[in-house]
Amino acid sequence: MSKLSVRNMQGEAVGELDLADECLVRDKGAQSVHDAVVAHRAACRAGSASTRTKGEVRGTGAKPWKQKGTGRARAGYRRSPVWRGGGAAFGPKPRDFAKGLNRKMARLAFRRAFSERVFAGEVTVVDPFALDEGKTRRLAEFLRRHGAAGGALLIVDRVDENLRRASRNLAGFEVAPAVSVDTYRLLRYPRVFVTKDGLAGIEKRLRPAAGRAS
């Protein structure tokens, strides 16, 4: 069993929670973590850079001067890439940078990433966690009391309206539901906080699938 520290909203230690060893993995999955992060960052790229080729720029196709006798280099048309205002040679075109990552690898990457944060002592369970108003200062005070002013990820079971409003203007802080938090976000922030209900959702994702090896 691995132990997770439990603290209240004021940053005071109130106990510990056990996390089953079957939920954690440390002997494999390092390459899957790398692939998952690369795939996530690649999918975030817009891929909208675009240039015009010599067939797309405006300009005459007439020969600018005769082939011989001028003392200048041969030239066929003003849309050539060697001319100012001509088309771009081998320039970028809109493309999709997305990389494939199968479900088994994505699941292993998530388990390995969360396990590493647990073993490093960077995951804290917050119980109880509640915001009675959507004020950013309340959430900022929570982070200050927990020594996480440098940035943190909060994993919850469900993002309510107060939490959404309180977190939207807080730099270096992100809230994510347990069902959709991904490997990249687990590794992006120096501290990870998880509510008790959120941890239950995470455990469901960490447990080995029935009938399959971990």
Span 148-196, pLDDT tens digits = 878 899 999 999 899 999 999 888 899 999 999 999 999 999 999 999 9
Q: Which CATH number fits domain 2-42+101-206: 3.40.1370.10, 3.30.300.30, 1.20.1050.10, 3.40.50.10680?
A: 3.40.1370.10
Q: What would the pLDDT profile of 63-116 be if each residue is shown by its tens digit?
A: 999 999 999 999 999 999 999 999 999 999 999 999 999 999 999 999 999 999
pTM of the model: 0.83
Which pLDDT belongs to residue 210? 52
Contact 103, 110 (CB under 8 A): no
Tokens 């891929």 found at:
47
In degrees rounded to 5, what are phi and psi of residue 18? -90, 140
* Domain ranges across the chain: 2-42+101-206, 46-96
Pairing of strands 123-126, 173-177: unpaired
CA geometry: angle 26, 28, 31, nearest 5 deg: 120
- Strands (E) in the chain, as ranges, are 2-7, 13-19, 123-126, 152-156, 173-177, 192-195
User: Is-cis flag, bond preceding 177, omega within 30?
Assistant: no
Q: At what angle do helices 196-206 and 103-119 cross, to 10 degrees?
A: 130
- Hey, how many other C-beta atoms are within 10 angstroms of the C-beta on 106? 17
